[in-house]
Structure 1
């Protein structure tokens, strides 16, 4: 866990966050002050995490930490950079406070400048989500087709279970989050691993008595089975 590593490195903000109650963390997040405590650089940690993964199949890494200095700017890197007039209503519709929105817009401009300076590929992402997803898939299709990829249902299921397991693990490893686990609902991939299945299942973190392991029953959508 990145925050555990930050504590080990004696990051003062993270240590203060670790000592706060759930109510105090929630208040800090509502006030847009979460970054005051958790503003350490996780980019190098992400690189370490990726290097620990098996060399195959392919790994797709996404998120705001994938800046040019971390990912490079080759044809396998693409940044979604919607303009402010598109991002602002999206952030407002999520119910964020003014300070959180201000921070998000500033961070977005900063990342876009880094991408421009490095000559990275950008996608304005102004269209509806489904259209943006389609365009991203089309851009990455040749790379994904070249592989290496999961070769059969067992390898696909292993990847799905690995991803689902880590969703639970990051919440159960330590009480970092500004909410009670009973109220935290996350989406999990159906582990039937059928090539045509893209079903997602909503479950609370509290519904898992422990972090799933290889002996845990599969997470399945209604009507789906393990073949």
Structure 2
């Protein structure tokens, strides 16, 4: 079984930021559940799951006009949690993996051996601030609010460990303190080449995510017009830089921020 620490919580609470910072600092593999969204949906379609089939057959306008319980069902929240567990089982045993995502649930983690698990729960003020920043339409906004309620209920009812995150609060160091033992035990990548390879792996997952989205028959636009933020691949443990790049132009060479380690992003 992969050595893994799990980080869950609703959209916008800061999971990805915390996971990336700790992965860079400690040389961890980063598993971001969002990048597997369309691979998971394809697995659900192949299995004939009704909610997945309905999601694909509706147009985006029809889909987001559905009642909130239907939106929650079509999100495959619980089903994808189990898929995440399957994905993580298949990862190499080393280095230590930080697996993060909204669909990571106490139920999906409970049956798996892991070093630690933690959920970030936003205060109502933080949740509304982050949702407002995303400028969501009515359907996605309603779904994200419901997901936040569902996740908090799941965490509190299961007795799973959590941190409450307030407005303008960076909990990276508090998460690191909670995970001091697993992070110290590792194993983590030790060389710059190994850390760069892990960052490249995470960036390639983003490319795959965008490519798969624009391949859906109902998708609007073209992957050639998509621009995404990518992690700087300099391999410096203190680097937090992200660089925007057209998805289809993501280079084969190390992709780094301007001036980092003698390379320049292009």
Place the TM-score, normalised by the shorter chain, in its bin.
0.7 to 0.9
* 1:137 Cα deviation after fit: 2.8
- Give the root-mean-square deviation of aligned CA atoms: 2.9
Query: What TM-score comes out, normalization by structure 2 length?
Result: 0.70
Matching of residue 122 in structure 1 with residue 162 in structure 2: yes
Matches within 5 A, 1:45-56: 45-56=83-94
Matches within 5 A, 1:1-227: 1-15=39-53, 17-18=55-56, 24-25=59-60, 27-28=61-62, 31=65, 35=71, 38-40=74-76, 41-72=79-110, 76-129=116-169, 131-173=170-212, 175-176=215-216, 177-208=219-250, 216-225=252-261
Q: 1:206 to 1:15 in 2, by over 3 A?
A: farther
Query: What is the alpha-carbon distance in structure 2 between the residues aligned to residue 12 and residue 141 of structure 1?
Result: 42
Query: What is the alpha-carbon distance in structure 2 between the residues aligned to residue 29 and residue 205 of structure 1?
Result: 26
Q: 1:75 to 1:156 in 2, by over 3 A?
A: closer
SS at 1:62 equivalent: strand
Q: 1:158 to 1:75 in 2, by over 3 A?
A: closer
Query: What is the alpha-carbon distance in structure 2 between the residues aligned to residue 140 and residue 179 of structure 1?
Result: 42
* 1:172 Cα deviation after fit: 1.9
Please tell me whether the aligned partners of residues 192 and 226 of structure 1 are also in contact (alpha carbons under 8 angstroms): no
Please tell me whether the aligned partners of residues 185 and 202 of structure 1 are also in contact (alpha carbons under 8 angstroms): yes
Query: What is the alpha-carbon distance in structure 1 between the residues aligned to residue 133 and residue 119 of structure 2?
Result: 22
Query: What TM-score comes out, normalization by structure 1 length?
Result: 0.80
Query: What is the alpha-carbon distance in structure 2 between the residues aligned to residue 206 and residue 81 of structure 1?
Result: 35
Q: Which has the larger radius of gyration?
A: 1
Greater shift, 69-78 or 142-151, is seen at 69-78
Partner of 2:8: none
* Structure (1 or 2) with the greater strand fraction: 2
* 1:37 Cα deviation after fit: 7.9
SS at 2:178 equivalent: helix
- Higher relative contact order structure (alpha carbons within 8 Å, sequence separation ≥ 6): 2
* 1:190 Cα deviation after fit: 1.5
SS at 2:165 equivalent: coil
Greater shift, 79-88 or 149-158, is seen at 79-88
Query: What is the alpha-carbon distance in structure 2 between the residues aligned to residue 71 and residue 93 of structure 1?
Result: 30
In structure 2, list runs of 5 or more residues that go unmatched.
1-38
SS at 2:228 equivalent: strand
